[in-house]
Amino acid sequence: MALRKIEQRKKRISFTILSIISVLWIIPVMWVISTSFKTEQEAVSGGINLIPNDFTLDSYRFIFNDTNNNILHYIKNSLIAASSHTLLYLLIASLAAYGYAIVRWKFRDVMFWFLISTMMIPNVMNLIPLYSIMIQFGWLDKLQALVVPGLGGVFGIFLLRQFFLGIPKDLIESARIDGASHIQIYLRIVLPLAKPALIVVGLFSFMGNWNDYLWPLIVLNGDTYRTLPIGLALMQGNYNIYYSRLMAATVVSIVPVLAMFMVAQRFFIRGITMTGIKN
């Protein structure tokens, strides 16, 4: 009985502390959302009210209708780059993970160990030479520069391999005995079973590509393939911009991420747990 009481008191204390911190945690976003619905005069008038006195959708009309800004164009670019990167990576990484987890071959473990050990090398060392390679490939200011180099990433393969190793050996052995080829086993047994892991890896590569700032900043010059993070940064640097519009653009950039999180929260949590526990 006493133990249960202590338990409940703990829950109450924890609830109180977490509630307070959560409110503080959300305020910045609330402030931004609130500004986006204010008129520009109200936004810069120094009112602390979170509910606009003069509710308006003007800033959003500007974002979506005015031809002077390219936010929608940037969103489209980001979507194209991030989804093509993600689909290609899922294909390439799942094939590789199959090769490292299921098939036995001569240098498999040495190769895999080599891949993993390269994860020690900080990305910053590759930045400038990679740019030089982009020049030689003629990929500066091209979609390929945003999509292809990241396909060499090792982390997703590591996660997928880990998952593939957990697939019961009997399943694969008996398919082999029935005369199934590796491609058939990969397509019909491993991929369907690995759906949760594929979703996790897909989410991570999509978010990574969608949010990337430094690389697109370096390899893109013009507006053609400019992604949302770079476009938003440009908008911020423009001193004529209205704060209310800037905040509307910020909200627009949050919405897709928020939607994705709502739908796939458990996959995010599971994916991060996988990386941390497996160590």
Partner 1 sequence: MSTKRSVTDVLKKNAGALFVAPHFLIFATFFIIPFFYGLVISLYDWHMFFPEMREFVGFANFRRILFETDHIYHEYFINGLKNTFTFVILSVPFLVAIPLMFAILINVEPKGYKVFRGIFFLPSLLSITTLVLIWRWVLNTNVGILNLTLSEVGFDNIPWLAEQPFAWTSLIVMTIWWTIGGNMVIFTASLKEIPQSLYEAAEVDGANIVQKFFSITLPGMRNQLVYITIMTTLASFNVFGQPQLATGGGPSESTKVLMMYIREIAFGGGRPNPGIATAMAICLGVIMIFISVFQSRVIKRLG
Residues 216-275 that bind partner 1 (CB under 8 A): 217-218, 228-230, 232-233, 236, 243, 246-247, 249-250, 253-254, 257-258, 260-261, 265, 268-269, 272-273, 275
Closest to partner 1 by CB, 67 or 132: 132
Closest to partner 1 by CB, 37 or 100: 100
Give yes or no for residue 57 binding partner 1 (CB under 8 A).
no
Cβ–Cβ contacts within 10 Å for residue 105, how many? 9
Distance of closest approach, residue 26 Cβ to partner 1, in angstroms: 6
CB neighbour class for 256 (10 Å; exposed up to 12, middle 13-18, buried from 19): middle
Distance of closest approach, residue 252 Cβ to partner 1, in angstroms: 10
Distance of closest approach, residue 127 Cβ to partner 1, in angstroms: 6
Q: Which amino acid is at 87?
A: L
Distance of closest approach, residue 28 Cβ to partner 1, in angstroms: 5
Give yes or no for residue 51 binding partner 1 (CB under 8 A).
no
Give yes or no for residue 184 binding partner 1 (CB under 8 A).
no
- What is the footprint of partner 1 within residues 139-168 (CB under 8 A)? 148-152, 154, 157
Distance of closest approach, residue 211 Cβ to partner 1, in angstroms: 4
Identify the residue among 25, 55, 64, 113 touching partner 1 (CB under 8 A): 25
Give yes or no for residue 15 binding partner 1 (CB under 8 A).
yes
Give yes or no for residue 44 binding partner 1 (CB under 8 A).
yes
Give yes or no for residue 11 binding partner 1 (CB under 8 A).
yes
Give yes or no for residue 120 binding partner 1 (CB under 8 A).
yes
Closest to partner 1 by CB, 122 or 192: 122
CA distance 100 to 162: 10
Helix axes 71-101, 195-211, angle to 10 degrees: 140
Q: How many residues of this chain interact with partner 1, rule: CB under 8 A?
A: 99
Contact indicator for 205, 86 with CB cutoff of 8 Å: yes
